């Protein structure tokens, strides 16, 4: 089906503003675009408390995490933001994560992993793991531990789930992967579909990968989690994809490979939506449908304890 009306209008407005394609921007220019979108989201709902912390990484670095706490927390969600490993700040995803916290009754911990090209692969992978271990050690309540992320953040969530299996824990109750980057193949059918050259295009993904990693590293499972040989024993997954998204095929392929390995998977393709719809609070109505779907499945896990 075609893009929904709200998305079509949004894209027209962006085109009229004269915004350059991502692949024609410097990383600094691309990051400024994120601030524009943040201002459009508006503030999120109040939570019981908000606290920013800094944690040390094995390489001697320091990264930020933001804890959005709720009263009588029923679980903990570690959230990795999107942005092609190049863009994204805690403030830009604060509104989304506040909605996630209040809707699920879970404490949400947002991870400010270091960005490329200043910090190339595998820095983001190591930061994601360090933050996950820190959250597990903090024990924000007794409920289940869930990891989630969108786009490049979905990549980091998937990679973290694989590493937790390899390392023997901490135990993850659910992984929520929203249109995740799972492979470095830029020539599959959804990349070639001209209808999918919208918010994210093949050219922009080449730009993101180029800033993030060297070509020889991209087939490593902690860069392209679809390339892992054994997905058995991973936590249950919720996989969200968008019909008009170059990442559609690889997201659905990852869901299928998880199922084939015996992992419980719930997945849904959101028709009429483009890459990025899930995070566009107060901009695209499709965001609400995506959030409802994710909250429904988190609720099942939380209710089961």
Residues identified as active-site: 151, 245, 275
Helix crossing, 90-104 with 27-41: angle to 10°?
40
SS3 content of the chain, % helix, strand, coil (to 5): 45, 20, 35
Whether the bond into 117 is cis, omega within 30 of 0 = yes
How far apart (Å, rounded) are the C-alpha atoms in residues 25 and 205? Answer: 13
**Radius of gyration over every alpha carbon of the chain, rounded to an integer in angstroms:** 18
Q: How far apart (Å, rounded) are the C-alpha atoms in residues 138 and 74?
A: 15
| Greatest Cα-to-Cα distance within the chain, rounded to the nearest angstrom | 51
Dist CA 212 CA 204 (whole Å) = 12
């Amino acid at each position: 089906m075609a893009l929904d009306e709200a998305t079509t209008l949004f894209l027209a407005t962006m085109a009229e503003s004269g915004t350059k394609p991502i692949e024609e921007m410097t990383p600094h220019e691309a990051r400024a675009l994120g601030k524009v979108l943040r201002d459009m989201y508006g503030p999120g709902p109040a939570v019981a408390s908000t606290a920013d912390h800094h944690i040390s990484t094995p390489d001697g670095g320091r990264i930020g995490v933001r804890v959005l706490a709720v009263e009588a927390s029923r679980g903990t969600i570690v959230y990795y933001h999107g942005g092609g490993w190049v863009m994204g700040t805690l403030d830009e995803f604060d509104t989304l994560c506040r909605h996630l916290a209040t809707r699920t009754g879970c404490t949400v911990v947002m991870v400010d992993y270091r960005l490329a090209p200043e910090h190339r692969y595998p820095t983001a992978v190591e930061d994601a793991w360090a933050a996950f271990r820190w959250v597990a050690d903090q024990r924000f309540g007794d409920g289940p531990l869930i990891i989630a992320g969108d786009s490049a953040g979905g990549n980091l969530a998937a990679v973290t789930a694989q590493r937790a299996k390899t390392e023997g824990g901490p135990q993850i109750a659910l992984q929520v992967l929203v249109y995740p980057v799972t492979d470095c193949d830029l020539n599959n059918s959804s990349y070639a579909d001209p209808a999918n050259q919208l918010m994210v295009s093949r050219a922009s993904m080449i730009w993101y990968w180029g800033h993030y990693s060297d070509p020889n590293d991209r087939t490593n499972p902690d860069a392209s989690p679809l390339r892992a040989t054994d997905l058995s024993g991973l936590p249950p997954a919720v996989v969200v994809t968008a019909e008009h998204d170059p990442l559609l095929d690889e997201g659905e392929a990852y869901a299928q490979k998880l199922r084939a390995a015996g992992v419980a998977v719930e997945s849904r393709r959101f028709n009429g939506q483009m890459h990025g719809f899930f995070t566009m609070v107060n901009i695209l109505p499709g965001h609400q449908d995506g959030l409802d779907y994710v909250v429904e499945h988190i609720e099942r896990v939380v209710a089961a304890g």
